[in-house]
């Protein structure tokens, strides 16, 4: 239940924790921020942490752990095989999901690799509400194809629809029939669609997807990396879920999907990843790939202290006062920006706030990479590192042509229990300044473009000298201030 303030003007999301360990931050002068982003090839992934004030590039592996998680790390059983740490992790997964068939992987994309190796063959398709970058890369490298079937409402930047990540169920039925079930490697539901604003999927839609898959004889897979946010939205926005316990929702999903996998860097606020199923036949099909790619079946490439922290974090993910800290602070930042007139994806989803960069620079063509350009501008303005979730995050077609993103987004992730409210307000203030000076933002062009996952490694340079002009305008407006 939300905490209501006596004076309405004081209403803010309330931290349900206290800070006991702190890390010093640095806010560089704007001239040094300009130098840093240019040396990084306008790729925020290539910035050095020492040059960043607010690191909003991701919520993966950078969330604040609880005191109980830190304590759990001290009792880790560092055994190659037969580890008690692994037994405790399996017990936690059984408590949360109600399943005992579990495989480890060192993180979510490693689980995707195992899934792809087990199920994807050349010429097969995987059907998804929306793709994620690494998921798609694993499938296409094995000769498969990704087909996106998100409901059209998911691509509307601003609406009041509560579940914009839902599958288009009619399109799903048609796709399975058209490709034939034998050609469908699996159907994947991403519970919190990363690339279109962290938008959730309703329980009703997930159950319908499972029904269709079972009817057609197709494997159903849930990417549960963002499930705790998704469960929060189910509880807040879906009448069916209002009075359901969180554990009831987790277990219902585990009973209906053939396979669930997730990154413990997100679900569990630790490190590592897991694959689980209520039916042993599915984990048996994938088991052989774990020692081949990850490590033995009781650690799977994870460091045992991380496994202990993940197990405790999973148990804590049943607590609504634990899982509300992401969505409520994200919603607050989104409202601050929306009140300022800054175009953001609405309603606010999980992960973070997503700036609609097509409205920042409406005349900029996709091949000048508007989302990356806005991200560079935000860093110059405030030392804030976001992540490009637009055309740079796509990959080129086999013929070398550019695949343009459906939405050009700059994501400002909000790691859980990391930033104070004053820092959230600082972020809103600096993004507002970028919005007011958006006419200064110019495009970018490649200087070094990798063939795969270019958003991780690629480098760009500004077209013209717009970044110098932006830094100059900042100095005019802010004087000697950082």
Active site residues: 80, 132-133, 223, 266, 389, 455
What's the DSSP call for residue 276?
A: E
Which of these, 190, 329, 351, 199, lies nearest to 260 by C-alpha position?
190
Closest CA to 228 of 310, 106, 112: 310
Residue by residue, what is the 3-state secondary structure of 3-69? CCCCCHHHCCCCCCCCCCCCCCCCCCCHHHHHHHHHHCCCCHHHCCHHHCCEECCCCCCCCCCCHHH
Closest-CA residue to 410 (of 376, 368, 458):
376
Assigned token pair, 93: 């997964």
Q: How many CA atoms lie within 13 A of 422 on its CB side?
A: 1
H/E run at residue 282: helix 280-287
Would you say 384 and 423 are in contact if contact means Cβ atoms under 8 Å apart? no
> Cα(387)–Cα(368) distance, rounded to whole angstroms?
16
CA dist 335 and 54 (Å) reads 19
Per DSSP, what are the bridge partners of residue 186?
126
> Concatenated DSSP letters for 144-177?
-EEEE-B-GGGG-SB---S-TT-B-HHHHHHHHH
The one-character DSSP state at 2 is P
**Tokens of residue 30, six digits:** 């704007």
Nearest to 375 by CA among 455, 476, 480, 265: 455
Instruction: Identify the three-state secondary structure at position 72.
Output: helix
Where are any strands of DSSP class E within 278-367?
352-356
- φ, ψ for residue 409, nearest 5 deg: -120, 145
Q: How would you write 383-432 as a 3-class SS string? A: CEECEEECHHHCCCCCCCCCCCCCCCEEEEECCCCCCCHHHHHHHHHHHH
Nearest CA-CA partner of 427 in 32, 62, 54: 54
């Amino acid at each position: 239940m939300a905490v209501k303030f006596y004076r309405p003007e004081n209403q803010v999301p309330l931290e349900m924790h206290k800070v006991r360990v702190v890390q010093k931050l640095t806010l560089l002068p704007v001239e040094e921020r300009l130098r840093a982003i240019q040396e990084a090839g306008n790729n925020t992934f290539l910035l050095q942490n020492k040059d960043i004030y607010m690191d909003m590039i991701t919520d993966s592996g950078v969330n604040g752990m609880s005191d109980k998680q830190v304590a759990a790390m001290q009792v880790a059983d560092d055994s190659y095989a037969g580890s008690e740490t692994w037994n405790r992790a399996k017990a936690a997964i059984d408590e949360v999901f109600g399943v005992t068939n579990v495989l480890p992987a060192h993180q979510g994309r490693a689980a995707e690799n195992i899934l792809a190796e087990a199920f994807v063959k050349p010429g097969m398709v995987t059907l998804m509400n929306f793709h994620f970058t690494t998921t798609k890369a694993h499938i296409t490298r094995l000769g498969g194809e990704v087909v996106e079937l998100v409901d059209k409402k998911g691509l509307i930047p601003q609406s009041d629809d509560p579940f914009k990540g839902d599958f288009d169920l009619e399109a799903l039925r048609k796709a399975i029939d058209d490709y034939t079930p034998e050609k469908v490697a699996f159907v994947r539901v991403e519970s919190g669609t990363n690339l279109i604003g962290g938008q959730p999927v309703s329980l009703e839609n997930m159950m319908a997807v499972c029904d269709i898959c079972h009817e057609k004889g197709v494997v159903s897979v849930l990417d549960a990396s963002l499930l705790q946010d998704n469960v929060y939205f189910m509880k807040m926005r879906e009448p069916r879920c209002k009075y359901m316990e969180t554990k009831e929702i987790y277990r219902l999903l585990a009973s209906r999907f053939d396979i669930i996998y997730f990154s413990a860097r997100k679900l569990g606020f630790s490190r590592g990843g897991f694959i689980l199923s209520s039916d042993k036949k599915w984990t048996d099909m994938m088991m052989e790939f774990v020692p081949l790619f990850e490590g033995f079946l009781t650690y799977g490439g994870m460091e045992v202290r991380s496994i202990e922290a993940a197990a405790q974090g999973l148990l804590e993910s049943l607590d609504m006062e634990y899982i509300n800290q992401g969505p409520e602070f994200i919603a607050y930042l989104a409202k601050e920006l929306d009140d300022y007139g800054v175009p953001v994806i609405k309603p606010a989803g999980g992960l973070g706030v997503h700036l609609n960069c097509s409205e920042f620079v409406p005349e900029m063509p996709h091949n000048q990479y508007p989302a990356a350009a806005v991200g560079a501008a935000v860093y110059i303005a405030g030392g804030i590192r976001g992540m490009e979730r637009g055309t740079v995050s796509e990959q080129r077609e086999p013929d070398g042509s550019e695949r343009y993103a459906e939405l050009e987004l700059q994501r400002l992730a909000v790691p859980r229990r990391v930033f104070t409210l004053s820092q959230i307000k600082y972020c809103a203030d600096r993004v507002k300044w970028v919005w007011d000076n958006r006419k200064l933002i110019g495009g970018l062009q490649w200087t070094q473009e990798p063939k795969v996952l270019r958003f991780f490694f690629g480098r760009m340079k500004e077209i013209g000298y717009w970044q110098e002009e932006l830094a100059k305008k900042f100095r005019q407006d802010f004087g000697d201030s950082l």
